[in-house]
């Protein structure tokens, strides 16, 4: 293994879930569980101190909701947040994205997919459960403006938006477009500002939605090499 392991903090009100996920992650050399919490209060007290790379966070907690915890953690730390829940709830999913969650998966997810999802968000990517993505797309489609939302983007920003929609990290995008990772980061900041978005995952959802609408509404894709 090269480099330090991804540090993961687990927040769930069910002890059996916390232990099960901890055992699952404990079998991976590149992942390390650095703390657990069963309530919103515990999470808000401990995560800013531990400062993990990824927080795996339940949507519903006995003393609050995970969306509020996510929003607070994103304002106080650099930790990526992956929502993990048994509730197939459109509103919670939508709110979690707006709160800055990097991903949202259901507890029915396979263990290998959860592990891959943690690695994805730790690397700066985004992840949505496929069964939930379609409903988010539909909701965003209903809120979309008639005007082209990408009108202010440059061709390069459109290409980067398309690659964000495919789940690529800044490093992967830089390799794809032959530009420095720092340059990609600047492009991402610019396109988020132009689109009125705060989080990368919001851009990923928008890109996926526009891609579903076809060439007339989708961001410009990089030419195949």
pLDDT more than 90, % of the chain: 41
- Residue in the block written with tokens 């339940």: 58
DSSP string, 30-59: TEEEEEEESSHHHHHHHHHHH--SEEEE-S
Cβ neighbours of 77 (radius 10 Å)? 17
Q: Stretch 207-214: mean pLDDT, rounded?
A: 66
CA distance 177 to 108: 36
pLDDT higher at 2 or 108 = 108
Higher per-residue confidence, 208 vs 129? 208
Q: Which residue has the tokens 């029915």?
A: 108
If one counts every other C-beta atom within 10 angstroms of the C-beta of residue 88, the result is 14
At residue 200, the pLDDT reads 86
How far is residue 79's CA from residue 223's CA, in Å, rounded to a whole number?
Answer: 34
Q: pTM for the complete prediction?
A: 0.64
Strand order in the sheet with 54-57: 31-37, 6-11, 54-57, 80-85, 103-106, 127-128
């Amino acid at each position: 293994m090269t480099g330090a392991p991804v540090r993961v903090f687990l927040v769930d009100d069910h002890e059996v879930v916390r232990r099960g996920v901890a055992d699952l992650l404990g079998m991976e050399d590149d992942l390390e569980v650095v703390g657990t919490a069963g309530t919103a209060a515990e999470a808000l007290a401990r995560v800013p101190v531990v400062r993990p790379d990824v927080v795996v966070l339940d949507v519903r907690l006995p003393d609050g909701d995970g969306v509020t915890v996510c929003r607070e953690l994103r304002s106080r730390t650099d930790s990526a947040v992956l929502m993990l829940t048994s509730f197939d709830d459109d509103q919670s999913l939508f709110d979690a994205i707006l709160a800055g969650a990097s991903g949202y998966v259901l507890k029915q997810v396979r263990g290998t997919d959860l592990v891959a999802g943690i690695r994805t968000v730790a690397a700066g990517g985004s992840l949505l459960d496929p069964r939930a993505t379609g409903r988010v797309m539909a909701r965003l489609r209903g809120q979309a403006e008639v005007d082209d939302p990408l009108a202010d983007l440059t061709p390069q920003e459109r290409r980067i938006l398309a690659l964000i929609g495919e789940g690529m990290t800044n490093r992967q995008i830089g390799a794809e477009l032959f530009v420095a990772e720092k340059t990609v980061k600047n492009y991402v900041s610019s396109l988020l500002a132009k689109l009125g978005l705060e989080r990368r995952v919001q851009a990923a959802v928008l890109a996926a939605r526009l891609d579903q609408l076809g060439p007339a509404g989708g961001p410009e894709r990089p030419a195949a090499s």
